[in-house]
Amino acid sequence: DSDSEGDGDVHVAQKDVPQENGGSSAQLDAVSRQAARPSSARPAPPRVKRQESHTDVTPTERLSSAKTPAPVIMDGKALSEDEEDEDEQFLVEEAVPLPSDVPVTEPARELDRENHGGLVKKILETQKNYESSSESSSKPAEKSLVSEAALNKEREAVKNEVKRLSSFIQGVCSRSQMLGKIVDYIQEDVDAVQTELHTWRRENREHAQALLQEQRATDQTLETLKASLTELEQQIKDQQDKICAVKSNIMKNEEKIQKIVTGIRFSSRS
């Protein structure tokens, strides 16, 4: 390390990046070996210092909320030309982004929303909207396949229905001609039937009038016969009364005869 690493050093804050296969120290060593400079070049850049966080922040939280800070110049000291050259030779370590298929856990998202500002919240909301839109885009694709199959099925059903209707309409049209001829014949038959109906109605009226006349004549004849019957019934009653009177006279005469006979017997005995 050079003497420029005193109080006036420029501190570069580097984010801690969680790696899938190990820590970040191996990467830093590899990068420093790749950045080796020849002896004729300027002095080597200072070692990259890491700013350790004193807060209990998880790597996921640090990744989502950290920003690359700008170099800070301490008060009271001015940078020399060598230090300015060294500033130009600083090694900047880029943060390796997480793979796209590594999901961010829900607790980390909740901590990010609670501990960080509006920009991080917007980023998280954008990521969430992107995930939901990707899920919804896969669903419409499946729905589109189902809808296409349903539409094809409906098209076939409509075609079959149209064919059936067209054949039915053709049959109706072919039968309508015969029906028209039959209707003409029916009109003639209807006229004949109506004429016959009027004839039968006229005959019915005539026979009804004749029936009334015969009924009246019959009633008159019956009235004469009824009167004669009444007279005969009365004569029968009179004759029955006479018969009853004759029978009573006969009975009275028999009693008288019996009395006379009994008187004669008593007189003969005496």
DSSP 122-142: HHHHHHHHHHHHHHHHHHHHH
Please measure the distance between the N-terminal and C-terminal CA atoms of the chain and give it in whole angstroms: 210
Given this model, what pLDDT does residue 254 score? 92
CB atoms within 10 A of CB 12: 20
- What is the pLDDT at residue 44? 61
For residue 211, the model assigns a pLDDT of 95
Q: Given this model, what pLDDT does residue 148 score?
A: 82
Per-residue exposure over 179-195, b if at least 16 CB sit within 10 Å of its own CB, e if not: eeeeeeeeeeeeeeeee
Residue 52 confidence (pLDDT): 46
Count of residues making up the chain: 270
**At a CB cut-off of 8 Å and minimum separation 6, what does 87 contact?**
10, 71, 79
User: In this predicted structure, what is the pLDDT of residue 241?
Assistant: 94
10-residue mean pLDDT series, the chain (270 residues): 42 41 49 54 59 45 49 47 49 48 46 59 80 65 72 88 90 83 82 92 95 93 92 94 94 91 82
pLDDT of res. 178: 82
